[in-house]
Amino acid sequence: MVIDRRTIRTQAAIETGFIEVLSQKPLNKITVLELTEQINIGRGTFYSHYKDLFDLYNRIMQETTRTLSRLFDENYPDPGTDSYEFFANQMITYVDEHRKLFTSLMHNDLGANLRFNSRKC
């Protein structure tokens, strides 16, 4: 399926705006109205791309996990290799380039609850 440029730009704007708002407050305190006003789109536009804020959050998490997994698979040194420098640099560079996302996720109440719940399992 081919996605047109407008869709890609709109989704990128929504994700960027969401990460910005998420850096300021917990997910459960963010509203679709607040997000759409911040990035200057209509609520209908948001809902044409995502079911709700949790759907948006989950998609961002899935994409981030896929990218980290791909980077890991492509750059992890072969057995017997003594140097992990290139691998470490690739991973650190990705995290640094997406610093706002990782900071928002680590400081978000939802993230704390997920870590807490995973310890119970």
Q: Give how many domains the chain has, as a whole number.
A: 1
> Which pLDDT belongs to residue 111?
43
Q: How far is CA 78 from CA 86, 90, 111, in A?
A: 12, 15, 33
> Which pLDDT belongs to residue 112?
47
- The model's pLDDT over 38-97, given as tens digits with 9 standing for 90+, comes to 999 999 999 999 999 999 999 999 999 999 999 999 988 888 787 888 889 999 999 999
- The model's pLDDT over 95-104, given as tens digits with 9 standing for 90+, comes to 999 999 998 8
> Which pLDDT belongs to residue 1?
60
> Which pLDDT belongs to residue 117?
41
- The model's pLDDT over 4-46, given as tens digits with 9 standing for 90+, comes to 899 999 999 999 999 999 999 888 899 999 999 999 999 999 9
Structural domain boundaries enclosing 73: 5-120
> Which pLDDT belongs to residue 110?
52
Q: Is 40 left (phi over 0), alpha (psi -120 to 50) or beta?
A: left
CATH code, domain with 115: 1.10.357.10
CA distance 93 to 90: 5
> Which pLDDT belongs to residue 83?
85
Residues 6+ apart with CB under 8 A from 91: 68, 71, 72, 75
CA distance 22 to 27: 6
